[in-house]
Structure 1
């Protein structure tokens, strides 16, 4: 779910919003909502006996690392979208 939010929202937010800070905050809010929902879903599945995400006996450090990596990639996509969007507005202003 967090990967879907990142792919669908990060670049468009950077592209469409003028403020880089506003785009980063909007992405962070959407990502963190999805992260909370996903973590709750996986935790409830684990408590129900499904060990496919992470087991009961170990701390899921790999889950946290992957989630942090996706979060960082999303900020990179926001920055890329902002750069492409600012070039578009610069070209229109010159023309």
Structure 2
């Protein structure tokens, strides 16, 4: 779920929000909301007996699943910030700077 949100929203956030810090903050807030929802769903499934995301509580490898989940979500989070940065760079690539002096234009 968070991977889909990152793929769909991270680049447009970087393209649409002019301030880079604002774009990062917007992405972080959206990611936090979806991450919390996804984690809640996975925990509810785990309490009902599913062990796809987390190992069973009687498993001797209790932290293996949680560390893998942490690593996976951290990589997705970092990739999202990379896409926001890419979107911001693409937005500003074709725009001349406000204080740029054009030497090839003649002012009469």
Report which structure shows greater RCO (CA 8 Å, sep ≥6).
1
- SS in structure 2 at match of 1:90: coil
Aligned to 1:40: 40
Structure 1: how far apart are the matches of 2:76 and 2:96?
A: 30
For structure 2, list consecutive stretches of 5 or more residues without a partner in the other structure.
Answer: 103-108
Query: Is 1:50 equivalent to 2:64 in the alignment?
Result: no
Structure 1: how far apart are the matches of 2:35 and 2:96?
A: 35
User: Aligned pair count?
Assistant: 93
* Aligned counterpart for 1:74 among listed residues 73, 80, 85: 80
CA shift digits 1:18-73 (9 cap, x unpaired): 10001000000011100000000000100000111211331210001000110000
- SS in structure 1 at match of 2:18: coil
Query: What's the TM-score, normalizing by structure 2?
Result: 0.80
| Greater gyration radius | 2
Q: Which has the higher helix share?
A: 1
Structure 2: how far apart are the matches of 1:35 and 1:90?
A: 37
Query: What's the TM-score, normalizing by structure 1?
Result: 0.90
Structure 2: how far apart are the matches of 1:90 and 1:7?
A: 28
